Structure 1
Amino acid sequence: MRLLFIQGRSQEGRSEQELKEEWLGALNRGLSKVKKPKIAASEVAQPFYGDVLLKLSKADPANADELKRSSPEKGQDADFVKFMAEAVVELSANKSEAGNLAIHPPPTDPEYVLRTKKPAGEPLDSSDIDDMAERGVQNWSWVVATVRHLDETFPAFSEWSIGRLLRDVYLYLTEEKIRAEIDEIVEGRFTDEPTLVVSHSLGTVIAYNILRKKKRNITGFITLGSPLGIQAIRKRLEPPAVVRPDVSTWINIYDKADIVALNPLHSQSFAMFDEPIVDIAIQNGSDNRHNIKPYISDVEAVSHIHRIVSSGEHQ
């Protein structure tokens, strides 16, 4: 039984070996705590696309430095603004269990408030978002302010932010060159052997997109801190996210205080699947509640990984 780890974003400058040691080390620490045998490095593959994503995203017109648009005249700009607006409005409407804090950031663009005659702080609806997209960068300042508000409200370490995650997810979903190169790297590590896929953050979007397109010898699919519950992401999957990967077990582990993984996948996002996704809420102990190491070392994660690996060995 092989394990295939699929990383999230913000790993540029690192290496496949470094990531593999980090993920496997955390997993084995968790396995030791529940008195289960450790997994050998030879049983694990970890494709690395961090440097490729950084290089391609910098060359793309949707790249944002400190969340500022570099090419406002591009036709793609309106869709990017709409994607970001849809995502942050959805995220800001949720409640965090961290201090029972409800986030409702108001539109901060005075011209927008005046034009729509909406009181500051009143939630936006779909027509408001469509209006923002049509007006493009005129409303980018509002989106930037909302993303920054969320980043400040949900503590994050310097390498991670909601805005950058959403930017990279958008590029993967909408730019064929970026998606093709990343998919080629990840798909190159699949074999005919029975494989358990464990993915995190942006990696869950990449893994889902790859697994639903072709039948493979996959014994299980585990998503950690997945943003697939965000409607703005699901609706931009091509074809739309209505195809379940051909796996008997899909386990989604999330923290309700992880701002990009607030929504359980089965109950709200993929309830149409005949074989339901198993959603498991945990407490991720990191500062931003999104870090991979607390996710993959959690007792629920390691117990399911051990169960799937063991069942494959005994077949």
Structure 2
Amino acid sequence: MARVVCIHGIGQQHAGERTLHAAWYPALTDGMVRAGAPSVLGSEDVRCVFYGDLFRPPGRTLAVQDPPLDASDVTDGFETELLLALWTEAARTDDAVVPPDARTLARTPRGVQRALNALSRSRFFAGVAMRGVILDLRQVRAYLCDPAVQEAVQQRVAAAVSEDTRVVVGHSLGSVVAYEALCAHPEWQVSALLTLGSPLGVRNLVYDRLRVGGGAEPGDRPGNVDRWTNIADEGDVVALVKDLRPLFGSRVDSHLVHNGARAHDAARYLTTAEAGRTVADGCFLG
């Protein structure tokens, strides 16, 4: 059974368990090499939880072509608030992005369009089509706001974690999934949590929506975790709050790393010595 369980983030609806494993497993073990780990994990020791298919529409017979998604498809409320938060962070970290102001932050289609236009000029969203950004917003909203989606995702995590699992790795939205799962299952013997490019520290949109169960509250220690390492790239727009300690306590070991042009890339996070050390310590010392 897997000693390390990995949970992906948004935008993976066209992947699968084996596809993710093929990318994550070598990156994870490379990180352990960088950390000078005394041993490496076998392929069978790592399992990737996949839930992207929950966001993939079913196939259908081609009839009328679907219109392209545009600013009008970004719903008011959560999606608009998240989009504008991403715009603000992108402007903070990238001089090419015109920052929002009080007027442009109005919740109007024009404000949404301006946000999408601004993000299209950022390094972080380079090469990402508007449709992709809008679909990603929908996935985040679905998990955080739809109890049925959250339950379906959590069931897949629970099916992957066994009595042998000692480390859980969560990337992007997967860090939210991981935190909620560990809080909901204090009986698990997971000793280490590794979060990468995490939005867990975003108040109102993420942190205050966490569903931890069992009388726990957001900010509580997740399950039996003794070591929690959070890693963020300064240019990672998704990790709006780089340091989780103000909300989750001093027990979170926080690191800033440099992932180059692909600031949010899971494999680049996993190949860091900081990630490799957490996985090694969790597996062999936990």
Q: Same fold by TM (over 0.5)?
A: yes
Q: Does 1:51 align with 2:53?
A: yes
Instruction: Classify 1:90/1:9 alpha carbon distance in 2 versus 1 (closer, same or farther; 3 Å).
Output: closer
Query: Residues of 2 paired with 1:23 and 1:267: CA distance?
Result: 27
CA distance in 2: counterparts of 1:88 and 1:39, whole angstroms: 38
**Helix, strand or coil for the counterpart of 2:76?**
helix
Contact map agreement 1:93 1:103 (CA 8 A) in 2:
no
User: Structure 2 counterpart of 1:90, which letter?
Assistant: A
Residue identity in the other structure for 1:19: L
Quick check: 1:150–1:162 contact (8 Å CA) kept in 2? Answer: no
- 1:32 is paired with a residue whose SS is helix
Deviations 1:273-293 (A, max 9, x none): 4x53111100012x3411111
Determine the C-alpha separation between the residues in 1 that align with 2:268 and 2:18: 20
Is there any run of 5+ residues in structure 2 with no aligned partner, and where?
A: 59-66
1-side partners of 2:33 and 2:245: how far apart?
32
Which amino acid in the other structure matches residue 18 of structure 2? Answer: Q
**1:128-173, CA deviations, whole angstroms, 9 ceiling, x for partnerless residues?**
6xxx4xxxxxx23422431342243133344895544332111101
Q: Structure 2 vs 1, CA of residues 163 and 154 (structure 1 numbering), >3 Å: closer, same or farther?
A: farther
Q: RMSD over aligned Cα, in angstroms?
A: 2.9
Amino acid at match of 1:170: R
Within a 5 Å distance, the mapping from 1:29-178 to structure 2 comes to 29-36=30-37, 37-55=39-57, 66-68=69-71, 80-94=75-89, 103-106=98-101, 120=103, 124=105, 132=107, 139-156=108-125, 157-158=127-128, 162-178=133-149
1:88 CA drift (Å): 3.5
The structure with the largest alpha-carbon Rg is 1
| Conservation of the 8 A alpha-carbon contact between 2:91 and 2:97 | yes
Deviation at 1:210, TM superposition (A): 1.5
Unmatched 5+ stretches in structure 1: 57-63, 71-76, 107-117, 133-138
Structure scoring higher RCO (CA < 8 A, sep ≥ 6) equals 2
Deviation, structure 1 residue 203:
0.7
Amino acid at match of 2:218: A
- CA deviations over 1:165-223 (Å, ceiling 9, x no partner): 33211110111221121211121111122420011011111111221122121111000
Contact 1:162 1:260 in 2 (8 A): no
Q: Which residue of 1 aligns with 2:61?
A: none
Q: Which of 237, 245, 253 matches 2:210?
A: 237
Question: Which of 175, 178, 182 is matched with 2:153 structurally?
Answer: 182
2:31–2:271: 8 Å Cα contact kept in structure 1? Answer: yes
Any conservation in 1 of the 2:166–2:190 contact (CA below 8 Å)? yes
Q: Is the 8 A contact 1:165 1:202 kept in 2?
A: no
**Structure 2 counterpart of 1:49, one-letter code:** Y
1:155–1:266 CA distance, 2 compared to 1 (3 A): closer
Do the aligned partners of residues 34 and 251 (structure 1) sit closer, same or farther apart at CA in structure 2, a change above 3 Å counting? closer
What number of residue pairs does the alignment pair up? 267
Q: What does residue 232 of structure 2 align with?
A: 254
- CA shift at 1:296, angstroms? 0.4
Amino acid across the alignment from 1:181: A
* Conservation of the 8 A alpha-carbon contact between 1:94 and 1:102: no
Q: How far did 1:28 drift?
A: 2.1
Q: TM-score, normalised by structure 2?
A: 0.80
